[in-house]
């Protein structure tokens, strides 16, 4: 029996929407990363971007479990001497919830050209409104299987 290898021309993409309200950040990010990579499809091919589009809404209301609000720290550096900036997860959630969600998902994608291509199919919004209703996205549940 011959193995099926998908090509970029044969990929059929769908749109999914994930509601992050009161869901753990890691669960939402892993679900989104798997859909972006295409691992939920039987035609998954590691060397091809065969994933779907993902829209994450309510990023501002994502759940951080344990002591992460005070303990988890996000770092940025300007590449100048003394340019290190630190923000706690609580501060990120209040001021930059979209960036916090994007960083979580991006860290779970491959760190190469293919991963950058997959990352472009991610759309994150603070509130419950999004401009992708014309694509008729399907709702994707997050949680234990």
Asked if 56 contacts 32 with a C-beta cutoff of 8 angstroms, the reply is yes
What residue spans define the domains of the chain?
A: 15-140
* Cα–chain center distance at 71: 22
pLDDT band at residue 3 using 50, 70 and 90 as cut-offs: confident
Q: In CATH, what number does 15-140 get?
A: 3.90.1180.10
The confidence band for 143, taking pLDDT boundaries of 50, 70 and 90, is: confident
Pick from 98, 100, 80: nearest CA to 88: 100
Mean pLDDT of 111-119: 97
54, two tokens: 């993902």
Do residues 7 and 86 lie in contact, with contact meaning Cβ atoms separated by under 8 Å? no
Q: Say whether pLDDT at 139 is over 60.
A: yes
Over pLDDT 70: what percentage of the chain? 99
Checking if the pLDDT of 144 tops 70, the result is no
Question: If pLDDT is split at 50, 70 and 90, which confidence band does 4 have?
Answer: confident
pLDDT confidence band for 35 (50 / 70 / 90): very high
- Summarised one tens digit per residue, pLDDT across range 56-73 is 999 999 999 999 999 999
- Residues 85 and 77 sit within 8 Å (Cβ to Cβ): yes
Of 36-40, 121-125, 133-137, 140-144, the one with minimum mean pLDDT is 140-144
Check pLDDT > 90 for residue 145.
no
- Three-state SS string over the chain comes to CCCCCCCCCCCCCCEEEEECCCCEHHHHHHHHHHHHHCCCCCCCCCCCCCCCEEEEECHHHCECCCCHHHHCEEEEECCCCCCEEEEEHHHHHHHCHHHHHHHHHHCCCCCCHHHHHHHCCEEECCCCCCCCHHHCCEEECCCCC
């Amino acid at each position: 029996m011959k193995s099926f290898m998908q090509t970029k021309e044969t990929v059929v993409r769908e749109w999914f929407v994930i509601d992050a309200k009161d869901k753990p950040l890691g669960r939402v990010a892993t679900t989104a990363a798997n859909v972006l990579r295409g691992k939920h499809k039987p035609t998954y091919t590691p060397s091809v971007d065969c994933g779907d589009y993902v829209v994450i809404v309510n990023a501002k209301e994502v759940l951080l479990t344990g002591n992460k609000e005070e303990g988890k720290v996000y770092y940025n550096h300007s590449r100048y001497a003394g340019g290190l900036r630190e923000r706690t997860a609580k501060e990120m959630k209040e001021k930059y919830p979209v960036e916090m969600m994007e960083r979580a998902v991006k860290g779970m994608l491959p760190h190469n050209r293919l991963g950058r291509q997959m990352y472009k199919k991610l759309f994150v919004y603070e509130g419950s409104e999004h401009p992708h209703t014309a694509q008729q996205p399907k709702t994707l549940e997050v949680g234990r299987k």
